[in-house]
Structure 1
Amino acid sequence: MRISVIGCGYLGAVHASAMAELGHDVVGIDVDAAKIAQLAIGKPPFFEPGLPEVLTSAMNNGRLRFSTDIADAAGSQVHFIAVGTPQKPGGYSADLRYVDASIESLLPHLSDGDLVVGKSTVPVGTAARLAELIEAGSGASLAWNPEFLREGFAVQDTISPDRLVYGVAPGSRGEHATELLNEIYATALAADTPLVITDYATAELVKVAANAFLATKISFINAMAEIAEVTGADVTQLADAIGYDGRIGRRFLGAGVGFGGGCLPKDIRAFTARAEELGRGESVAFLKEIDKINLRRRQRVVDLTVGALGASVYNAKVAVLGLSFKPHSDDVRDSPALDVAVQLRGLGADVVATDPQAIDNSRARHPQLQYSQSLEDTLQGADAVVLVTEWPEFRHLDPVWAGSLVKTKTVIDGRNALDPAAWRAAGWTYHGLGRP
């Protein structure tokens, strides 16, 4: 099928490349000329494992091209909207200006029978509003097809999703949308991927509800870590024990510095804002506490570091391991790791931070920090080591080798990713979160 993808950021670039890899004829469109220029030569503007390979493959096969001209979307049967919905400055609500602008610019190029498909995460009620605009302005139809990508696994999650959700209009428009989407996702459906066909509102809520649940689970175990720290309990063993319960499960029960990134924090905030607009703010009021718990864990890592250094970090060299919000990504949006580094620098520490992929993005946001590509140089002469992103090279760091480089063998494990026994055996003072 001929497909256009409007918005070539993280979501759009991955979706366009994956759709082309599946055999569709795809044009990716974005107003950012620099981003399009990079993509046009097969170079993703961000780090995502597997993306360079599918991007290059699709372009070499002639199934994928990029443009800054929305007119190039004309002639496509299906148009995916994959623009950002950031948090509004000074508030919790989602900023829909990019979604609205993309629809307005696309309208003149739509034909009767075309299908516009929303991928962006939007407040419930947005799709119904846009559907009226699209149908009145062009005769095209709208579907909402939320994404469930995990950064670091986005290509895999697009080509082989764990579920598909279609939010469609009632009647013949919905039937037409379903037929087109089934054709687009034929490979996944042939592999028995679960499919939920529903209304607009449910499809919009699926994504924010999923993120709210994950955020709740992460913050729950971090709340237990707070209790463990004042009782002498071990939150890791606690998570193991309750994780054996099939109703609970062990995944996302890793206590640590908390969640971040471009989705979970802003999505749960936008969800609470929308619920309040609907007069049901009390239904998700707990999400505000989830947000507070999450932010407290960042402060806890800072406090542990200060305490380990004798109540002051002034002029102490602190080696910060990790800057991205999660491993296998260069994304530093709302990153707990970068936040911890900035807070320690603000307290007067001589912070040297390293990360396999996120240094450039971090430097663009916080040039006041000192960065190093070398793990050895980062550790050299350090008074304390703070692990805040669980990259494999940090998880598997040899405590004996690291101990030969630092000035003082003090480690703050902000992800509970290290083996305390091994580090203590190598002479380190180990501080975990919710661990004795």
Structure 2
Amino acid sequence: MVEAERRRRVSVIGTGYLGATTAACLAEMGFEVLGLDVDQAKIDTLRSGRVPFYEPGLDELLSANIEAGRLGFTTSYDEVAEFSDLHLVCVGTPQRDESGAADLRYVHSVIEELAPRLTRPSVVVGRSTVPVGTAAILAQRLTALAPVGSEAELGWSPEFLREGFGVEDTLRPNRIVIGTDSPRVEKAVRHLWQQQADEGVPVLVTDLQTAELVKVSANAFLATKISFINAMAEVSEAAGADVIQLAEALSYDDRIGGKFLGPGLGFGGGCLPKDIRAFMARADELGVEPALSFLREVDAINQRRRARTIDIARHLIGGDFAGRTVGVLGAAFKPNSDDIRDSPALDVASSIAAQGAQVTVYDPAALERAREAYPQLNYADSMLECARDADVVLLLTEWAEFREANPEDLSGVVAEKRIVDGRNALDPTFWRASGWTYRALGRQ
């Protein structure tokens, strides 16, 4: 195979949210891509042109590039080692235990499996979110295990995908970070994203440690901003203020801005909660735990928003959930996703059910996953069915379907016109004019 052809080939190891999205988008950009996963069922689903999770636009991208012959999937490390000399590591790094530290077994497993098969000069680039210092350890192991020795080089290029916008964020990223001191690694990663760089996307080349810190630092900052405005919601409720007006006033300050100043139920999902906990755990290992101690309160504020939402709903129905009927709109941790990991909506729903209520949940995309994880809850296939006979309705994931709901339509099916807007997504004046008792976090 000529060098030019080989340079257009890339393997993507791990086909979860990050890996599947990366693989499909690189194929769309004209690369030949081979995705690897040890889960045969997942590979079979992807080969059929379907994504095993919900991400707008990804199914179409996947099937089109499989049909075009640019995208394939395998469970064989032998196959990916033969296929390409550039390998992207996109496996998960879940929370390990009560310490909050990241579970790195899957990242280490990739190196243990791939490195002994690297018989040609190769570049391995981590995309997964890992604690600072991980890449240096992996680089040493890669060199030690690879038959080509030091000609197998490792770099780190963190991802910045937002669930629900993964395709857009991959094809049109807001920055590209390359952690390496190797010209060959830098050249390989720049080649991947040359189109984006030509369009003006900033490319930053750093050392390995800085590259590892970028993603977790960004997530820690965003989590802090979310929890800050939710702390202001607590103060606003106590003082009789309106946190929505407060957030708007703050947003006009260019130093602060309005993004992530949406008060409500707080953050969840597979990134922010685990990443800030892993960041704290790593800081402790490095002997600088006090530097990130503020993140413990960020996490605590976030958890308190869930308890406060339950308190508001309980108060609305007279102080006791026992024997009551509750409709919950939302199961995914955010709209445009079916991800229920650390979902605030399902945490609230299950807590209310544990207090004796009949809880019915509806979500446009996450029902199947929710049913499997929370079988104690009831589920409906529409918003109206979810709200039927409800003593109170809770909006907990701000899908457009819920934001645009007509209160008159719901009025005909509920037992009582009471709603708790856990995301401050509705117009209180409009709902109150329709006869509803409306409550939201941080507002009177």
Give the TM-score of the pair, scaled to structure 2. Answer: 0.96
Aligned-partner residue type, residue 66 of structure 1: F
Could you tell me whether the CA contact under 8 Å between 2:160 and 2:169 is conserved in 1? yes
- Give the aligned partner of residue 36 of structure 2: 29
What secondary structure sits across from 1:74 in the alignment? Answer: helix
Query: 1:312 aligned to 283, 301, 320, which one?
Result: 320
**2:163 aligns with one of 130, 147, 151:** 151
The residue aligned with 1:72 is: 79
SS for the counterpart of 1:311 is coil
Note if 1:14 corresponds to 2:9. no
| Distance in 2 between residues matched to 1:328 and 1:405, nearest whole Å | 26
Preserved CA contact (<8 Å) 1:318 1:351: yes
Give, in angstroms, the shift of residue 360 of structure 1.
Answer: 0.6
1:209 corresponds to: 217
- SS across alignment from 2:11: strand
**1:422 paired residue number:** 430
1:57 corresponds to: 64
Q: Quick check: 1:141 aligned with 2:153? A: yes
Whole-angstrom CA distance in 2 between matches of 1:158 and 1:109: 29
Corresponding position of 2:440: 432
1:155-304 mapped onto 2 (5 Å cutoff): 155-169=167-181, 174-304=182-312
Determine if contact 2:112/2:145 at 8 Å carries over to the other structure.
no
CA offsets 1:74-119 (integer angstroms, 9 cap, x no match): 1312101000000012321000001001110001222342100000
- Is there any run of 5+ residues in structure 1 with no aligned partner, and where? none
Measure how far apart 1:210 and its partner are: 0.1
Structure 1 residue 374: Cα displacement: 1.6
Q: What's the CA shift string for 1:355-381, capped at 9, x where partnerless?
A: 000011011111110001121111111
Find the counterpart in structure 2 of residue 331 from structure 1: 339
Q: Following TM superposition, by how much is the alpha carbon of 1:286 offset from its aligned partner in structure 2, in angstroms?
A: 0.2
| Structure 1 SS opposite 2:389 | coil
The equivalent of 1:42 in structure 2 is: 49
Instruction: Answer yes or no: is 1:371 the counterpart of 2:379.
Output: yes
Could you tell me which amino acid in structure 1 is paired with residue 412 of structure 2?
S
CA distance in 1, matches of 2:195, 2:55: 22
Q: How many residues are matched?
A: 432
Identical amino acids, percent of aligned pairs: 53
Aligned mates of 1:362, 1:305 — CA distance in 2: 21
**Alpha-carbon distance, 1:61 to partner:** 0.9
Distance 2:406 2:312 in 1: 22
Q: Distance in 2 between matches of 1:177 and 1:132?
A: 15
SS at match of 2:327: strand
| Rounded Cα–Cα distance in structure 2 between residues aligned with 1:374 and 1:362 | 15
Partner AA of 1:371 in structure 2:
Y
Letter in 2 for 1:298: R
Q: Does 1:394 align with 2:392?
A: no
What is the distance in 1 between the residues matched to 2:164 and 2:35? 21
Structure 2 distance, partners of 1:72, 1:100, is 19
8 Å Cα contact 1:73-1:109 kept in structure 2: no
Q: Which amino acid aligns with 1:116?
A: V
Q: TM (normalized to structure 1)?
A: 0.98
Amino acid paired to 2:39: D
Offset from partner CA, 1:214-256 (integer Å, 9 cap, x none): 0000000000000001111000000000110000001100000
Deviation at 1:404, TM superposition (A): 1.7
- Residue 302 of structure 1: how far off its partner (Å): 0.7
- 1:121 partnered with 2:129: yes
**RMSD of aligned residue pairs (Cα, Å):** 0.8
Deviation string, structure 1 residues 169-207 (Cα, Å, up to 9, x no partner): 2xxxx1111111111111111111011100000000000
* Cα distance in 1 between the residues matched to 2:201 and 2:64: 25
Task: Please tell me the residue identity of whatever aligns with 1:378.
Answer: C
Q: Given that residues 65 and 71 in structure 2 are in contact (C-alpha distance below 8 angstroms), is that contact kept between their aligned partners in structure 1?
A: yes
One-letter amino acid of the structure 1 residue matched with residue 372 of structure 2: A
Which amino acid in 1 is paired with 2:52?
P
1:348 aligns with 2:356: yes
Structure 1 segments, 4+ long, off by >3 Å, are none
Give the residue type in structure 1 aligned to 2:292.
V
Alignment partners' CA distance in 1, 2:441 and 2:342: 20
Alpha-carbon separation, structure 2, partners of 1:54 and 1:109: 30
Letter of the aligned partner of 2:183 in structure 1? E
CA contact (8 A) 2:85 2:120 kept: no
AA matched with 1:46: F
Q: Deviations over 1:32-51 (max 9, x none)?
A: 11100000000100000010
Amino acid paired to 1:250: G
